[in-house]
Amino acid sequence: MAEHWYKNALIYCLDVRTFADGNGDGIGDFDGLRSRLHYLAGLNIDAVWLQPFFPSPLRDNGYDISDYYSVDPSLGTLGDFVECVRQARNLGIRVMVDLVVNHTSIDHPWFQAARTDPSSPYRDYYVWSPTRPPDADQGMVFEGEQRTTWSWDEQAGAYYYHRFYHHEPELNIANPAVRREIEKITGFWLQLGVSGFRVDALPFVIEMKGAPPGRREQSHEYLRELRHHVQTLCGEVCLMAEANLPPEEVEDYFGQGDKIHMCFNFWANQHLFLALARGQAEPLLRAYRQLPPIPPLCQWNNFLRTHDELDLGRLSQAQRQEVFEAFGPQPQMQLYGRGIRRRLAPMLGNDRRRLELAHSLMLTLPGTPVLRYGDEIGMGDDLSLEGRNSVRTPMQWSAERNGGFSTAPPRQCYLPVIAEGEYGYRTVNVERQRRDPDSLLDWLERMLRRRKEYRQFGEGACSWLDSGRPEVLAHRLEHGGRSLVLLHNLSAGEVPVSLPVEAIDGCNHDILSDRYCEAPREGRLHMQMEPYGYHWLERHERT
């Protein structure tokens, strides 16, 4: 059904500014994106999630918005956006956009009006205090870069609250007028053809710092209010939340299926990298068993990397150190004391076997996969760039200047394209891998196409199986009377696996290699799994 499309979707995340430059000024734009839509269709993508493209002073990569109702002029016009959405839909690709309403830019007209006039209706759009609150040195998102969450504004004669940078004042969601503004913002973009929103920093959106204590306890009710509004305007809409949730908070965000539709599974993601670091399945298996079931029409988002650092904040200090040592051992690879600012390929040593294993896990674990642009070709990172920019370099399309991203002089590019070394654009690019049937890109295209053929991945009931080996994660997905069994060896060694026949529900055919397993012996299926190996098994009779 169209309204549940997200359950079986493949989502691709990109930043318009760093994806493709259509006019040669060094900045990606909607003309450039439109010219690459057929590439995304060829990847079997169902939806593209666009990071902020709104007018912004760009102090925080566009997440500091100064106008919610327009397109940054450097990226094109509203007409260019609408044409891009139209052509995407013609290719079967839905468009999702970032909804960044926990804060605005300090340059937004709302904040400028609020700071200059205490009687302005926009004054209460933000959270103010005449004195510095006692908790001002707590709750910083960017440890090491932030010193406070309350900053003094000389013009307003008061302190204003900001969870993020001082130039991103927090919106007061407790104010009904702010909630009406969010309704207008979402309604505007839905009318222009978008199918959903990735809600940025959702826990901070509903924090309601400006509400009386009793009102704050009802903050999660706002999720029902927002869901009802967008669902009324567009039946197929999807709210995809960025919320780093511990297991005990899951129910508050999904509700009875009447709050958010999907949520990024940060809990599983962090334990997945701990499992990869150890070469053991137990951390990931334990993480999933700790998560409560979610309502039938809700979904988790599986991912490997995003546009931010790999956040390990939910791991213990000892566990976090294990992941640091495995994937980001040098101080310049780490960020905020909790994360790794590297791309997937460098973290995994550009080992093709490990890259395939990681992507197979993302595609087969319960949920909807979100693929980060460039990971399909194994792009690298640039640790010489500041902070998170290390993983935000432009897409590498070809061996031409600037990797085919732009015809502008290299110094004019929005961010420098990786030019040298193992991950330089002459070595790692789309065109080169398109011509190579053994490339990572060609492999991933086949995997994505295969996944789309089986509804078990998006809608199947999951049961975890005992593989008999600590290195191997085994699970079964069942939907409509059909099962798939997925096996992943997280270790660098060859491992024997033994599974009870009744547990695998007769699944004996590897749909990736078109090979059959050996006949069961003594009621068990026996297999040898190669280092970092993976198998997708279905029930299939030999002919």
Mapping DSSP to helix (H, G, I), strand (E, B) and coil, where does residue 225 land?
helix
Q: What is the DSSP letter of 143?
A: B
207 is known as an active-site residue: no
Pairing of strands 509-510, 515-516: antiparallel
What phi, psi does 150 have (nearest 5°)?
Answer: -130, 120
Residue whose pair of structure tokens reads 């599986």 in the numeric block? 302
Side-chain half-sphere CA neighbours of 73 within 13 A: 1
Directed axis angle between helix 352-364 and helix 266-278, to 10°? 150
Residue whose pair of structure tokens reads 């973009």 in the numeric block? 189
Distance CA 43, CA 350 (A): 21
- Out of 98, 170, 200, 375, pick the active-site residue: 200
Q: What is the rounded (10 degree) CA torsion for 78, 84, 451, 99?
A: 0
242 is known as an active-site residue: yes
Mapping DSSP to helix (H, G, I), strand (E, B) and coil, where does residue 159 land?
strand
Mapping DSSP to helix (H, G, I), strand (E, B) and coil, where does residue 249 land?
helix
Burial class for 35, CB neighbours closer than 10 Å (0-12, 13-18, 19+): middle
Pairing of strands 339-340, 368-372: unpaired
- Out of 242, 309, 376, 505, pick the active-site residue: 242
The one-letter code for the residue type at 359 is H
Distance CA 193, CA 189 (A): 7
Structure tokens at 220: 């999660």
Distance CA 488, CA 504 (A): 15
Q: What kind and span of H or E run contains 433?
A: helix 430-434
SS3 content of the chain, % helix, strand, coil (to 5): 35, 20, 45
Q: Which phi-psi region, left, alpha or beta, contains residue 523 (left: φ > 0; alpha: ψ -120 to 50)?
A: left
Largest CA distance in the chain: 81
Whether the Cβ atoms of residue 342 and residue 382 lie closer than 8 Å to each other: no
Distance CA 530, CA 287 (A): 25
Which positions are annotated as active-site residues? 200, 242
